[in-house]
Amino acid sequence: MSAPELLDLDATALAGALRAGDVSPVEVLDATLDAAAGVGAAVGAFTVLTPDLARTQALAAQDALVAARRDGRAGPHDGLPPFLGVPCPVKDLTMVEGVPMRAGSAAIDPFPAPYDDGVVTLLRRAGTVMVGKTSTPELGLPCYTEPDVGPTARTPWDLARSAGGSSGGAAAAVAARVVPVAHGSDGGGSLRIPASACGLVGLKPSRGLVSPGPYGVDGAGLATHGVLTRSVRDTAAFLDVLARPWPGDTFTARLGAPPDGRRLRVGLLLEPVIAAGAPVHPACADAARAAAELLVRLGHDVVEIPPPFGAERWDAFAALWSVGALQAPVPPEREHLLVPLTRWLRERGRAVSGLAYATALAGVQQLTREVAAAWSGVDVVLSPTLAQPPALVGSQRVDDDPAADFAAQTAFTPWTSVWNLTGRPAVSLPLGEARVTDPDGSSATVPVGVMLGADHGDDALLLALAARLEEAAPWSRRRPGPSS
């Protein structure tokens, strides 16, 4: 296979090609590093590449595969890790032992991570090759990836537009065909936002399904790890890899039983939740309506539903988010090196009293009960992922008015954080598209995501439904690239 053919495979197909001996892990790595230096740099995917570490891992994978074939063990039940030799970078908010980490911030000097975070341990056990750290905004806080100390992540569908955030570099790397899968995380939409902007599958698993252990803690329980992929089957397979508990987990969940194929009741949610009256681009609403029509053709029932709570109730999330920003260990003498948005959030966090924080936590828990009651009559909730197509680079970061920056982000993402608040699973699928015009007069067709969410623990049901939608309206033949 040629390098473009290799890099066009999803992770499952690439793992199969490696098992069959059609290509070696070293050949895959060479193609990946070449792409990372080329198109990967153009889309701002990586903060650092790790060719030496990756080559050591690729050579070990190659030896294991050669030994398995020599011993007649190569095949689906050969006992080898499922993704042996498959490249998978890690977001630069997560530690990889010995690899410099900066979390997208000038206030944090790059430091070699002292250990692998738990999800990195699991990715290693699955046989993946760690080719680099992907770009993230400062501390992963905004929904765009434009850090002061790293590359701006751009969607390969239109380089004038953002890849989203905060897993923007990860999404750019997968969409640009540098890697088939990339690690990311999601505290308010940070997997699903870039999935929408880059035409990918992005699942935020149920709270407690993917542990932050053994070193991290859940805190308010908003954030979780996951991956960005180009296929539902890859997302499901990597959920199997990452859904492993560590001793002492605060929240625990288990993958539910496979769905029984029953007729589902789907709630279509078109009205913004956390930003009442936020403008919704027609292409975003149309993509959700088209997905609803497709679900009806697949034998499901669809009913329109209103937001489960008033926009003002979202203030609890804002309080938890700002305190979370304040928890980052930034020395006082380096505070001035933070971007204005981060400084503004940290100031807001300082203004949250202990009582106010406890009240916010209680408010989120009460909101979770109210959402469960409001959506008890539906199995799945369908909405646009974002209110707008991918944003122009620089259009969302407003350094001279961080409050306006934050407000614009909420208007851009009026559905995503509901699922973080409630701990329920949600997935963005690249089912829509929009024609956009850039300031220079050029135009491009860009992806538009559609989001499906389900009850806590119903990740298997959600992925099965996503797989049916992918089968009925496949997106695998689409390729990024601007057109005039």
Show which residues are catalytic: 91, 166, 190
Q: Looking at the DSSP assignment, which residues form a beta bridge with residue 428? A: 202, 451
Could you write out the DSSP letters of every residue in 257-317?
A: PPP--PPPEEEE--S-SSSTT----HHHHHHHHHHHHHHHHTT-EEEE---SS-GGGGHHH
Q: Vertex 302, ends 300 and 308: CA angle to 5°?
A: 130
| Gyration radius of the chain's alpha carbons | 21
Ramachandran region of residue 245, left (φ > 0), alpha (ψ -120 to 50) or beta?
Answer: beta
Show the DSSP H helices in 73-167 as ranges: 118-125
What type of residue sits at position 467? A
**77: phi then psi, degrees, rounded to nearest 5:** -120, 40
Matching residue, tokens 């403008």: 279
Matching residue, tokens 């100390």: 149
30: Cβ–Cβ under 8 A, 6 or more apart, which residues?
none
Measuring CA to CA, which residue among 92, 113, 91 is closest to residue 228? 91
Instruction: Yes or no: say if 152 and 145 are a contact pair by the CB < 8 Å rule.
Output: yes
- Burial class (CB within 10 angstroms; exposed 0-12, middle 13-18, buried 19+) of 3: middle
Residue 428, helix vs strand vs coil:
strand
